[in-house]
Amino acid sequence: MNKILYVIDDNSNNNYKYEITEDTIIYHFSINSSNNVEINLVNENVNLYYYYNNINYDDNEFKIDVKHKVGNTHSELYNHGVNVKNNKLTYYVNGIVPKESAKCICNQENQIININDGKSTICPNLLIDNYDVDSNHGAYIGRFSEEKIFYLMSRGINREDATKLLLNSYLINSDSIDLNKIDKFIKEIEKI
């Protein structure tokens, strides 16, 4: 991958805009923030991998528009949130392919884990105006699978440590992430 960006925000409202001209990975780690992200894929044959990992305590929103402004472009979004308290967390995730952009791949995977009884919403939208496009979306809101917790506990790991293992794997969901660069976020995971 040509370009790797790390973004960490903490208790803030933010607007981000990216013009993607080369293959890019964006690791976005967000602590209790609302974010509005606009991404434009502007060169043919570019690949974008966007990882949004979010720990949430108050009412917050995450809105992202990924626009395939030219054909032969590829986007993969992985949006993972943890809603810790009884608050609202809302994701609006829009993959946009206009009529003139053929042969695009536009995928998104969205999950929010509710630790307590928070109200979480995911709006996964694929706004595709071209027939020659490969596009998928998925959304899950819920808790960690009891089957996974059972498996971990059956080896002597208590529920708290089992949940911690799952949280780490869920919020740091790529082997390529440089952990030294997200120290603050790792410490925040410990607090959940």
Partner 1 sequence: MLEIKNINCSITDSDLNILKGLSLKIKEGETHVIMGPNGTGKSTLAKAIMGHYKYNINKGDILIDKESILNLSVDERAKKGLFLCMQDPTVIEGVSNSEFLRTALSSKTGEKVNLYSFITDMEQSMKDVELDSSMLHRSLNMGFSGGEKKKNEILQLKVLKPKYIILDEIDSGLDVDSLRIVCDNINNYMKENKEASLLIITHYPRILEYLKPDYVHILKDGKIRKSGDISLALEVEKEGYTSINVMS
CB of 21 closer than 8 Å to CB of 46: yes
Task: Decide: is 156 part of the binding site for partner 1 (CB under 8 A).
Answer: yes
DSSP H stretches of helix in 15-129: none
Nearer to partner 1, 17 or 142 (CB): 142
In whole angstroms, how large is the CA radius of gyration of the chain?
A: 17
Nearer to partner 1, 45 or 169 (CB): 169
- Quote the least distance from Cβ 87 to partner 1, whole Å: 25
Structure-block tokens of residue 131: 């027939």
86 membership: H or E segment, kind and range: none
Contacts of partner 1 in 114-153 (CB under 8 A)? 146-148, 150-153
- Quote the least distance from Cβ 15 to partner 1, whole Å: 30
CB of 108 closer than 8 Å to CB of 81: no
CA torsion through residues 146, 149, 153, 155, sign: positive
Task: Decide: is 158 part of the binding site for partner 1 (CB under 8 A).
Answer: yes
The binder of partner 1 chosen from 2, 168, 184, 187 (CB under 8 A): 168
- Quote the least distance from Cβ 180 to partner 1, whole Å: 17
Nearer to partner 1, 154 or 180 (CB): 154
Task: Decide: is 186 part of the binding site for partner 1 (CB under 8 A).
Answer: no
**C-alpha–C-alpha distance, residues 159 and 150, integer Å:** 9
Task: Decide: is 176 part of the binding site for partner 1 (CB under 8 A).
Answer: no
- Quote the least distance from Cβ 159 to partner 1, whole Å: 7
Nearer to partner 1, 105 or 157 (CB): 157
Nearer to partner 1, 117 or 160 (CB): 160
**C-alpha–C-alpha distance, residues 25 and 52, integer Å:** 11
Sequence-separated (6 or more) residues with CB below 8 Å from residue 142: 113, 114
The CA angle 130-133-138, to the nearest 5 degrees, is 115
Binding stretches for partner 1 (CB under 8 A): 146-148, 150-159, 161-162, 165-166, 168-170, 172-173
